[in-house]
Amino acid sequence: MQTTNKATEMTQKELNKLYEKNKAEYLAEIQNDDGSYTCRGCGNSFMTISIHHILKRWFKYFFADKRNFMELCFDCHQKAEGTMKEQKKLDCFDEMSKIAGKLLKEYYKLKPYEQTLDFKYK
């Protein structure tokens, strides 16, 4: 069994800081020329957008990973967080499912100690 040193473990505060940094980079990458964003759930353009975690936030390994982000308007984000029936109403449902499958496949190929945040981010 692998033991970890508490002094070297990534803290939630460090992870949140990394998330905010990656989120800002992601928003800059997806911003339209006019400063708006296009919702991948409905295709409409908005001046503000939500970042949805495809794999839920409690799945910390992908919490700050831009591959796990998807830009959604408020209404579509509500659907994405809702029931499967609601999620299937999104234009990006198939894409979200494929991304989730790829990320999980990657994760489960790792050895247990490689699945830690310290291994991924440090």
Is pLDDT above 50 for 3?
no
Cα 4 to Cα 7, 8, 107, distances in angstroms: 9, 8, 19
Across 69-95, average pLDDT: 96
pLDDT, tens only, 20-74: 999 999 999 999 999 999 999 999 999 999 999 999 977 899 999 999 999 999 9
- The per-residue pLDDT for 9 is 73
Backbone angles phi, psi at 52, to 5 degrees: -95, 135
Sequence-ordered alpha helix ranges (H) in 1-52: 12-30
Cβ 90 vs Cβ 76: under 8 Å: yes
